[in-house]
Structure 1
């Protein structure tokens, strides 16, 4: 007897909602976490970076393992790991504990998310029902990012920062209990090599972690210190080894042939730069609004909310503009709006008007970042074969997460060093924080400007309806 597919959609969509929610819900709690656990200004970013690096680094491996050993099995394992680490993170007593637990939580997300999406694609046949299911899936994912700032604010102000993690636990338990009776087990066909390429995932993630740590350690030690140079060179060596392993693997984690396609290369770069600008802006602005402007966590979430609505509207409008004008003009326009939003937001200080600086800056940035991401996602899958579309989707999603973590490390390192320099010159703490916030957003604007260069190098595409559907899957 065939199962009703809609309860399956409910289970996997709520799980994905939880994973997406956990990215944004943490940002508004950062000042409370910093004060309670004694995080240094430079180490605080690891609360975000540890999660995104492990999530992005193991995303492709998670999808591969799910295809081979069972999608429902890996979905449940990912759920339980995510729920357990959420519980322990909510009980963490030191910065080191929280960072390690956030990293393992990211690994749980990397097992859960691709398995959930694969379950969705095999549950619904190609056509109208799958399109409806994908629309619900994408809508809930976008809603999770928008509501995360509000949910985080409510939990932090009414309970404590610990509940931004503890709230995941009952959802994870209920979904893990429901999955065996609602979700059918499935595996990929038994053609081709049945290997996992664990070495590729470990090398790439270790290399990226070393580089991020090297960038962060440059703030207290200086770029010329032995430790920083060793970390950066060691990270580069590990990434070089990763490329060698992928080139020789019978079933590579990242098919290097994808990067012979110009649209795939430029799109991955664009989404990585987008991730860098977004995570850094979110991180810096959440701290600025609370530590400089004196807002509560909930008030911070409410001030972010218009950006979420602007992003949702931009997703609808930019897709229509891409169909009419092609990918390149929309992506360039999105880059320009992102820069304008960041520059305007960088003018805010402790007393400036929210309506004149913060609000328009957030709205412009929210429109711009989606107007970059939509055409980049379309271009990423436009010129790859149907057999490689899934791998291409995984690569661009991993690129966004990893680019975000690397960008966050670079931008916050320069921002923090500027704060320390201003304090050393006798500036007041609030004045120094404003200066660091401004410096960080200006560097984020440089990343957004680089996105325009990536768009100029990309081919111009006017997508078909099929390519638009594939892009929605990639996003």
Structure 2
């Protein structure tokens, strides 16, 4: 007969010592509850908002530049290629250094890097407002891009460690975080439009500095202490930083993207010697980086993650979508100013539907990602992009904003938010806790790299069609180069569908489903949670 366990008695009193009773079960924290590192829900909300502002940093800057690009170009005497370099400089610097900052955050701590990057972004934004030459403005935008690279990995790393277990609360936090990209672009355009209309384009950078100074102060008090193990700064840690991998990725990405952005405007076009050299050397260095990472004991990017088919497919779909979104929205903003002759403020007002739609889509995403197949969400995002860019591609100078641009904005946000939400959550679930910052770096590096490539291709297409554009046909002469860029964005989005159909991602977050067979089925449950 089975005997129930009895708690040990005290020798002196012969009574049961309740403190010595061994609990039959271990209490597991509820993943749906507020993480213990937060003292209140207010702190948690402000932390997620501050983390969102980190990922919004680059988009905020791009949006601000988009509506003042014509004014800046006229004031400083810049060509179209030089204007696009204002945005390209930040995305290029951000993409090239993200992996390095991701590894630094994982090794030496995330909070200090996070807070410092917000503060120095404000400092460089302030300096950009005083720029007197195109090269000064481009360099300072590059430095702001460097700060975006320093802020995103620790922000995503903190989110990944705080919300470690799959849950609806984690879905909501990551949905808010993912909203930073599209909403940052739109609010950047709105704030920049208002500031430049009241004062001038320089006020846009001053306002950007004020906003991020406020959030850098807020981060000091709302970001919880980073409890992950830190590495001592010694030779062994230096080797873990993969210095050769860092040099290969920075030099490779930098040279390749610089060639793409400058090739069309070089003295002899794409046949210019230094353009060819930059393209070839940049490509070879990136290939060398892949081979190096396969054999180095402490790789900057573990190549094994690419063996996960869904991981690779998600990244490819995201990069094609990000490339098309960034290029299309930039040139559409420029089109409104150059062709329709709208002021920065009027342009910003007409971009406002993107912000409203972005909030709606991210709220919906937070509630359905654990219920609806994420493959379906990715495909929805792909087709949202295709329809969006097709609408603005067939737009002409006489077309109605409400018939073409308005629905295009709504569909573009659907595409951007759904793809980014699914990708962010999947990548965070695919990497261990001590590599959450590098996980965020991988997503952002590829995204920014493809944005830089997209800007280079878009600028080349714009200039090539612009030189040969003639009066006549469906499109008016002024619209033809812009329409060609929008068709390029449509094509890139169309290609992404070919990869999205092979995804096998189910739902993400929520409760694990019980499996009756036990044993090996635990692996299936774990995989289901990740999916």
Q: TM (normalized to structure 2)?
A: 0.77
Give RMSD over aligned pairs. 3.4
Kindly tell me: are residues 405 and 301 of structure 1, through their superposed partners in 2, closer, same or farther at Cα, counting changes over 3 Å? same
**Pairs within 5 Å for 1:135-150:** 137=177, 143-150=183-190
Distance in 2, matches of 1:269 and 1:68, equals: 28
Q: Is residue 247 from structure 1 mapped to residue 247 from structure 2 by the alignment?
A: no
Q: Is residue 263 from structure 1 mapped to residue 302 from structure 2 by the alignment?
A: no
Q: Which residue of 1 aligns with 2:274?
A: 227
Q: Which residue of 2 aligns with 1:46?
A: 85
CA deviation after TM superposition for structure 1 residue 437, in Å:
0.6
Distance in 1, matches of 2:504 and 2:50, equals: 36
**Pairs within 5 Å for 1:340-359:** 340-359=387-406
- Indicate the larger mover: 206-215 or 3-12: 3-12
CA deviation after TM superposition for structure 1 residue 260, in Å:
1.1
Q: Which residue of 2 aligns with 1:208?
A: 253
Task: Verify the 8 A CA contact 1:274 1:404 in the aligned structure 2.
Answer: no
Kindly tell me: are residues 145 and 258 of structure 1, through their superposed partners in 2, closer, same or farther at Cα, counting changes over 3 Å? same
Structure 2 SS opposite 1:251: coil
Kindly tell me: are residues 246 and 28 of structure 1, through their superposed partners in 2, closer, same or farther at Cα, counting changes over 3 Å? same
Q: Is residue 31 from structure 1 mapped to residue 52 from structure 2 by the alignment?
A: no
Distance in 2, matches of 1:358 and 1:386, equals: 42
Question: Which of 124, 136, 140 is the equivalent residue of 1:97?
Answer: 136
Structure 2 SS opposite 1:144: helix
Task: Verify the 8 A CA contact 2:311 2:427 in the aligned structure 1.
Answer: yes
Q: TM (normalized to structure 1)?
A: 0.86
Question: Which of 378, 393, 397 is the equivalent residue of 2:444?
Answer: 397
**Pairs within 5 Å for 1:5-404:** 6-7=42-43, 10=46, 13-14=49-50, 16-17=52-53, 19=57, 20-119=59-158, 137=177, 143-176=183-216, 183=223, 185-186=225-226, 188-190=228-230, 194=237, 195-220=240-265, 221-317=268-364, 323=370, 326-380=373-427, 391-404=438-451
Distance in 2, matches of 1:330 and 1:128, equals: 17
Distance in 2, matches of 1:29 and 1:368, equals: 25
CA deviation after TM superposition for structure 1 residue 226, in Å:
2.6
Q: What does the per-residue CA deviation read over 1:290-349, in whole Å, with 9 as the maximum and x for residues that have no partner?
A: 110111111111211223333333334456666555233332333223212211111222
Q: Which residue of 2 aligns with 1:435?
A: 480
Q: From the CA coordinates, give the structure whose radius of gyration is larger.
A: 2
Structure 2 SS opposite 1:253: coil
Distance in 1, matches of 2:382 and 2:74, equals: 35
Structure 2 SS opposite 1:351: coil
Q: Structure 1 stretches of 5 or more lacking a match?
A: none
Distance in 2, matches of 1:122 and 1:369, equals: 25
Q: Structure 2 stretches of 5 or more lacking a match?
A: 1-36, 513-525
CA deviation after TM superposition for structure 1 residue 113, in Å:
2.8
Distance in 1, matches of 2:93 and 2:129, equals: 19
